[in-house]
Amino acid sequence: MRFSHTRAVQRFAALAVGAGLAAALAAAEPATPSADPYPSTYAASAAAPVLIRGATVLTGSGARLEDTDVLVADGKVAAVGQHLATPEGARIVEGKGRWVTPGLIDVHSHLGVYPSPAVSGNSDGNEATAPVTANVWAEHSVWPVDPGFDTALAGGITTLEILPGSANLIGGRSVILKNVAAVTYQAMKFPGAPQGLKMACGENPKRVYGAGRNMAPSTRMGNVAGYRAQWIEAQEYLRDLGAYQAKLKAGGKSAEDAKPPKRDLRLETLAGVLKGEIAVQMHCYRADEMAIMLDMAREFGFRIAAFHHAVEAYKIANLLAERGVCAAMWADWWGFKMEANDGIQENIALVDAAPQSCAIVHSDSEEGIQRLNQEAAKAAARGRAAGLDIPPERAIRWLTLNPARALGIDGRTGTLEPGKMADLVVWNRNPFSVYALADEVYIDGVLQFDRAHPPVLPRSDFMLGQPAAAGVAP
Amino acid sequence: MIRLQQIEMAAFAGACLLAACPVGAAPAAVLLKNGVIHTQAARGTIDGGSVLIVAGRVTAIGRDLVAPAGAEVIDLKGRPVTPALFGGVGQMGVTEVEAEASTNDSTLKLGQMRPEFDLTYAFNPDSVPLAVSRVEGIGFALLAPGAEAGRKGGPGSSIIAGLGSVVRLDGRRPRAPVALAVTVGADAGPLAGESRAAAFMLLAQALEEARAAAPLAAGEQRLLTPAGRRVLKSFLLEQKPVVFEVDRAADIRTVVEFAAREKLKAVVHGGAEAWRLAPLLARAQVPVVLDPLDDLPEQFDQIGATLENAARLHAAGVTVVFSRRSASPHDARKLRQAAGNAVAHGLPWDAALAALTSAPAKVFRAAAEFGSIEAGRPANLVVWSGDPLEVSTLVDASWLDGRRQSLRSRQTELRDRYLAKLKAGAAR
């Protein structure tokens, strides 16, 4: 079950009918918070249908279709096939020599929370004041003005998950955004997408707190003890909540005396994970630590959606695939700290090669997010050199379907199947080339980036009126 | 199996397949034939060309070379050959793992101005990033000290970080120091009393000390040690490159004017906004070392950053050299991808290759050894599986100082160990 506005209304309604006690309901309010207090206000503007004709299409669902048309209508993929009829008023895009892919999805970005310029006033990605800050939501730090959103768009990014940083064992909730220009983050928020919970393994938490402040955790065993203590508290919280709800349900004096547990943002988040409403997105480099985390997830009964920065995922590719956990990886970033020391360029390809795998290319970088296609191309080439068969129609899944899966939005975007959001990119050639450029980027059928017709003024307010960007020589 | 293949090929025609050719030994003569030879020299690019290597040196380049008796002959089948690539300005050989202080010797933090700081004493030819980068076709890099403010009240580095030297990725001793690393602009603030303006004040004072004919009077406030004065003076006399870390256009202009006044041979490093001053830089013959992937205002100094920086500078006649902004030895292999992106944004392909080969070799005075394929020069060259700037292209073979290089590294060892496990369904 996911947190969504509709679900929350349903849950609330069921409770009201079952209890039938207005007084009890009033008392319940503090403990049954709104599931969606900061709702998405994003709505794609109306746009004419788009017909892309005669392109090479990578569907994201595993197919490569030559000389194929893609029809977009009402913000959705309407059809993919040959010789599609042209609807009235449609924008026609000549696809000959071009490639069409689903919009790229980055599961790991700090755009907006660590924006450009990297100044202290806008440094809002790590609430590094305590090792557990499950109470914070990354969305409340997002600066929509970050010019990095625009450069990512030029690289074909249509959807991205913004996460808190990795200073903390439990860093806070993530948010999934559509990469559209907006004044508020709510107007970028992917409607109905679940939130994630950022957690971090390894060196960062123990360095920030142990080495940095002489407090727990200072070791990896301290890290694990730290997470476990939180899950135990969350279990207690759920028990208290359950007992309270049982009393309400019983009615009569029991219901009148029922006292809800005190609202606690931290425990609400952790309980959301244990209830399966929030998926864990876990920063974890080392294979052995990932295995520990998988055991911990079993111990407390929650799901890890993906390991991020999984530099050693190749060492446990079979284990990850069997457990249904995605690995989000870089193509070749390595060596900057001990837990990144065993990075290899074949990592993504090896993880992908395990049966039932879920390999993802991610960025964690305002530079990398601009060219996830090139990162995938490097990884695929290394995989092929190692004897693995990785055609473009497979590699594109690392940037589209698989990240959509990890984010729980694969029913809505990530492939070009009819009925899905028309999030797609028209590339000037095979996207797995260093020379490939996104010519056009559509989000929900709306042309958000058009290389042939760049905006006269920059989209980011920060870049507006900057003499340096305009090229005036001092 | 490979051994057998080698014997067969040798017996057959004195030839060998790239994958099966012996590594490490320097046979008397090697003929690479039927390739596309990007000489980065007067001969330009030769289609269907050959390169003859004798006793570790390139002795001939052309279309119809004949292999001397006993020479190893390698048919390139149209594949490109380039000079061994430049790995950028950074910490190659002095940093194993950035976050581990015990493995990182890149930055002098004495709180003193010590231009005589010679980083080559820390160079470790066994450093793993060397082999990892070598496998990617990199043959040389400028080892240059970093600059950093002190932590927790400790001393920081100086606006003059120290000496830079060309290091060779086959692990030979670094070349003699050739460059001086200087920080101006926003990053100089914390090293110069919290104002970038003071960087030029301090630099001018240091140069005055270096030029002083007579020893300074006792008690006179001085910035430099006697050794530091000698080093700085040598840069003035020999016109060796002074590499200024600088991004903001106004600061770049100041660097050009300051260097002209002080008679320094300036190189701009960083240069995010250099394109805005392209004609000035061309006139003053100031090369720009830049990261082609810079396109965001990482700092206020870089608001003018654009993917077209290299293309615009080149079009104006400025010498462009590529380097990653991170300066990390782990990141050097991404430089040719960055170069490919510069091409995608308007830089001519040959200029991009030059920015990875001949340009850095000339700017850092290593052109007798690196940066081109020319008769009489040591063989430092790479055979590629395809376009060397393309991300899917791999190195097929490489020679440094005339020796065939191994294409293995710690990473290929890790790959092979776990690929075998994966194939057995046992990666767990």
Sign of the CA dihedral with A382 first, then A388, A393, and A397 last? negative
Task: Report the residue of chain B nearest A474, measured CA to CA.
Answer: B250
Is pLDDT of B313 > 50? yes
The minimum CA-CA distance between B302 and chain A, rounded to whole Å, is 8
Percent of chain A predicted with pLDDT > 90: 90
Peptide bond into B297 cis (omega under 30): no
Chain A residues close to B277, C-beta within 8 Å? 473-474
Peptide bond into A117 cis (omega under 30): yes
Is pLDDT of B214 > 90? no
The minimum CA-CA distance between A153 and chain B, rounded to whole Å, is 13
Whether B392 and A316 lie within 8 Å, measured CB to CB: no
Is pLDDT of B317 > 60? yes
> Which of B296, B393, B412 would best serve as a mutation to test chain A binding (most A beta carbons within 10 A)?
B296
Report chain B's terminal Cα–Cα distance, integer Å: 31
Q: Which of A318, A346, A436 sits opposite B425 (nearest CB)?
A: A318
Task: Work out the pLDDT band at B286, boundaries 50, 70, 90.
Answer: very high
Is pLDDT of A15 > 80? no
Residue A450's pLDDT is what?
98
Is pLDDT of B9 > 60? no
Task: Work out the pLDDT band at B367, boundaries 50, 70, 90.
Answer: very high
A325 alpha carbon, distance to own chain's centre: 14
Contacts of A196 (CB under 8 A, 6+ apart): A161, A163, A173, A174, A176, A278, A279, A280, A281, A305, A407
Task: Report the residue of chain A nearest B328, measured CA to CA.
Answer: A336
Q: Which of B300, B418, B419 sits opposite A117 (nearest CB)?
A: B300
DSSP string computed for B27-69: -SEEEEEEEEEE-SSTT-EEEEEEEEEETTEEEEEESS--PPT
Is pLDDT of B414 > 70? yes
Chain A residues close to B129, C-beta within 8 Å? 335
Whether A338 and B344 lie within 8 Å, measured CB to CB: no
Whether A333 and B391 lie within 8 Å, measured CB to CB: no
Mean pLDDT across the stretch B400-404?
A: 96
Query: CATH 3.20.20.140 occupies which residues in chain B?
Result: 86-370
Is A252 part of any domain?
yes
The minimum CA-CA distance between B339 and chain A, rounded to whole Å, is 9
Is pLDDT of A278 > 90? yes
Residue B60's pLDDT is what?
98
Contacts of B220 (CB under 8 A, 6+ apart): none
Residue A16's pLDDT is what?
33
Percent of chain B predicted with pLDDT > 70: 94
Q: Give SS3 for A208.
A: helix
Whether A468 and B303 lie within 8 Å, measured CB to CB: yes
Give the gyration radius of chain B's Cα atoms: 23
Residue B55's pLDDT is what?
95
Residue type, A437: L
Is pLDDT of B73 > 70? yes
> Which of B280, B419, B423 would best serve as a mutation to test chain A binding (most A beta carbons within 10 A)?
B419
Is pLDDT of B371 > 70? yes
Alpha carbons B356 and B350: distance in angstroms, whole number: 10
The minimum CA-CA distance between B340 and chain A, rounded to whole Å, is 6
**pLDDT tens digits, residue range B13-56?**
345 555 555 555 556 899 999 999 999 999 999 999 999 999 99
User: Which single residue is written with the structure tokens 């407090």?
Assistant: A215
The minimum CA-CA distance between A376 and chain B, rounded to whole Å, is 9
Alpha carbons B61 and B38: distance in angstroms, whole number: 11
Q: Which of B276, B280, B344 sits opposite A471 (nearest CB)?
A: B276
Angle in degrees, CA A410, A433, A413, rounded to 5: 10
**pLDDT tens digits, residue range A391-439?**
999 999 999 999 999 999 999 999 999 999 999 999 999 999 999 999 9
Residue B26's pLDDT is what?
55
Residue A27's pLDDT is what?
43
Closest CA to B291 of B324, B321, B245, B244: B324
Whether A471 and B333 lie within 8 Å, measured CB to CB: no
Closest CA to B165 of B192, B141, B129, B136: B141
Is A449 part of any domain?
no
**8 A C-beta contact, residue B211 and residue B236:** yes
Chain A residues close to B275, C-beta within 8 Å? 471
Task: Report the residue of chain A nearest B389, measured CA to CA.
Answer: A434
Q: Give kind and range of the element (H or E) at residue B3.
A: helix B2-13
Whether B415 and A148 lie within 8 Å, measured CB to CB: no
Residue B17's pLDDT is what?
54
**pLDDT tens digits, residue range A238-258?**
999 999 999 999 999 999 999
Mean pLDDT across the stretch A77-105?
A: 98
Chain B residues close to A433, C-beta within 8 Å? 390-392
Chain B residues close to A382, C-beta within 8 Å? 394
User: Which single residue is written with the structure tokens 């040719």?
Assistant: B336
Report chain A's terminal Cα–Cα distance, integer Å: 58
Chain A residues close to B428, C-beta within 8 Å? 316, 318-319, 322
Chain B residues close to A119, C-beta within 8 Å? 300
Mean pLDDT across the stretch B171-175?
A: 95
Q: Give kind and range of the element (H or E) at residue A322.
A: helix A317-323
B233 alpha carbon, distance to own chain's centre: 25
Task: Work out the pLDDT band at A270, boundaries 50, 70, 90.
Answer: very high
Count interface pairs A-B at CB distance under 8 A. Answer: 151
Q: Please give the CATH superfamily to which domain B2-83+391-413 belongs.
A: Urease, subunit C, domain 1 (2.30.40.10)
A253 alpha carbon, distance to own chain's centre: 46
> Which of B392, B394, B395 would best serve as a mutation to test chain A binding (most A beta carbons within 10 A)?
B392
The minimum CA-CA distance between A278 and chain B, rounded to whole Å, is 27
Q: Which of A148, A332, A468 sits opposite B304 (nearest CB)?
A: A468
Task: Report the residue of chain A nearest B412, measured CA to CA.
Answer: A344
Is A354 part of any domain?
yes
Whether B97 and A335 lie within 8 Å, measured CB to CB: yes
Task: Work out the pLDDT band at B3, boundaries 50, 70, 90.
Answer: very low
Task: Report the residue of chain A nearest B417, measured CA to CA.
Answer: A315
Query: CATH 2.30.40.10 occupies which residues in chain B?
Result: 2-83+391-413
Q: Which of B276, B293, B298 sits opposite A117 (nearest CB)?
A: B298
Q: How many CA atoms lie within 13 A of A392 on its CB side?
A: 19
Total tally of structural domains belonging to chain A: 1
Contacts of A184 (CB under 8 A, 6+ apart): A41, A144
Task: Report the residue of chain A nearest B299, measured CA to CA.
Answer: A117
The residue among A474 and A314 whose pLDDT is bigger is A314
The minimum CA-CA distance between A435 and chain B, rounded to whole Å, is 5
Q: Which of A118, A343, A468 sits opposite B298 (nearest CB)?
A: A118
Residue B8's pLDDT is what?
33
Residue B297's pLDDT is what?
97
CA dist list (Å): A255 to A9, A13, A186, A260, A400: 22, 18, 37, 11, 49
**Of 1.20.1060.10, 3.20.20.140, 2.60.120.620, 3.40.50.10950, which CATH number belongs to B86-370?**
3.20.20.140
Rounded mean pLDDT of chain A?
93
Whether B99 and A337 lie within 8 Å, measured CB to CB: yes
The minimum CA-CA distance between B69 and chain A, rounded to whole Å, is 34
Residue B4's pLDDT is what?
32
The minimum CA-CA distance between A288 and chain B, rounded to whole Å, is 9
Q: Give SS3 for B401.
A: coil
Q: Which of B100, B295, B334 sits opposite A332 (nearest CB)?
A: B334
Residue A23's pLDDT is what?
40
Whether A378 and B391 lie within 8 Å, measured CB to CB: yes
Is A406 part of any domain?
yes
Mean pLDDT across the stretch A28-36?
A: 61
φ, ψ for residue B149 (rounded to 5)? -70, 160
Q: Alpha helices of A165-305 — where are they, by DSSP H?
A: 203-206, 212-213, 220-250, 252-257, 265-274, 287-300
Residue A32's pLDDT is what?
57
Mean pLDDT across the stretch A143-170?
A: 98
Angle in degrees, CA B422, B423, B428, rounded to 5: 25
Question: Would you tell me how many other CB atoms lie within 10 Å of the CB of residue B236?
Answer: 16
φ, ψ for residue A115 (rounded to 5)? -80, 175
Is A56 part of any domain?
no
Mean pLDDT across the stretch A47-70?
A: 98
Buried/exposed code over A330-360 (b: 16+ C-beta within 10 A; e: otherwise): bbbbbbbbbbbbbbbbbbbbbbbbbeebbbb
Chain A residues close to B295, C-beta within 8 Å? 151, 370
**pLDDT tens digits, residue range B222-245?**
999 999 999 999 999 999 999 999
**Domain containing A133 — which CATH number?**
3.20.20.140
Task: Report the residue of chain B nearest A369, measured CA to CA.
Answer: B293
**pTM: predicted TM-score of the whole model, two decimal places:** 0.93
**8 A C-beta contact, residue A14 and residue A1:** no
Whether B276 and A317 lie within 8 Å, measured CB to CB: no
Closest CA to B20 of B69, B57, B58, B75: B75
**8 A C-beta contact, residue A145 and residue A132:** no
Is pLDDT of A261 > 80? yes
Q: How many residues are recorded in chain B?
A: 428
Mean pLDDT across the stretch A21-47?
A: 70
Q: Residue A142 is encoded by which pair of tokens?
A: 């997002």
Percent of chain B predicted with pLDDT > 90: 90
Alpha carbons B144 and B163: distance in angstroms, whole number: 6
Residue B27's pLDDT is what?
63
Task: Report the residue of chain A nearest B101, measured CA to CA.
Answer: A337
Chain B residues close to A364, C-beta within 8 Å? none
Contacts of A213 (CB under 8 A, 6+ apart): none
**8 A C-beta contact, residue A161 and residue A107:** yes
Domain containing A361: what range?
A: 103-415
The minimum CA-CA distance between B277 and chain A, rounded to whole Å, is 6
